[in-house]
């Protein structure tokens, strides 16, 4: 049997003092493509590629793990806008098939592409504000880095 003798953590006022991170402000800054901490530096170096760090405050962006969440959120947002509009138009008006495809498909495509980067920025801001995936300054012991 393996016993683990970990020294108990002693909580003091100094260990409890950490940087306050406002979730909504970080998500708003990320939505605008800015650094979630300072709001000045650029979050992206390409369309969906995050920069390595902030040019203003040197926040490291490499620990983020947005993965597929931004795409799923964009599908939900665009779907909740597009589907009711399509249903309303198709039940109240008779439109030819070519007009249906000519209107709905480009709108869906451009709305999805237009929201993808801001939603990914908001997800990275949320991860930073909640100290997720390596954005914590003092990670707990025993958890290996990703």
* CA-CA-CA-CA torsion sign (110, 39, 37, 41): positive
Q: What's the pLDDT band for 140 if we cut at 50, 70, 90?
A: low
pLDDT, tens digit (0-9, with 9 covering 90-100), for 45-68? 999 999 999 999 988 888 888 889
Q: Are 131 and 21 in contact (CB under 8 A)?
A: yes
What pLDDT score does 6 carry? 56
When pLDDT is averaged across residues 29-54 and rounded to a whole number, the result is 93
- Rg value, the chain, Cα: 22
- Res. 5: pLDDT tops 80: no
Share of the chain above pLDDT 70, in %: 80
CA distances from 118 to 31, 61, 105, 132, 137 (A): 4, 16, 21, 19, 25
How do the domains of the chain map onto residue ranges? 21-130
**Total length of the chain:** 146
- Res. 134: pLDDT tops 80: no
């Amino acid at each position: 049997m393996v016993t683990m003798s970990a020294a108990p953590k002693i909580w003091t006022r100094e260990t409890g003092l950490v940087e306050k991170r406002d979730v909504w402000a970080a998500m708003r800054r990320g939505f605008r493509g800015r650094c979630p901490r300072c709001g000045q530096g650029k979050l992206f170096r390409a369309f969906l590629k995050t920069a390595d760090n902030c040019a203003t405050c040197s926040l490291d962006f490499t620990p983020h793990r947005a993965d597929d969440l931004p795409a799923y959120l964009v599908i939900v947002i665009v779907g909740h806008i597009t589907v009711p509009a399509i249903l309303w138009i198709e039940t109240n008006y008779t439109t030819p098939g070519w007009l249906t495809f000519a209107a709905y498909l480009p709108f869906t495509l451009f709305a999805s592409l237009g929201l993808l980067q801001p939603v990914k920025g908001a997800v990275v801001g949320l991860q930073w504000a909640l100290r997720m995936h390596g954005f914590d300054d003092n990670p707990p012991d025993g958890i290996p880095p990703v």
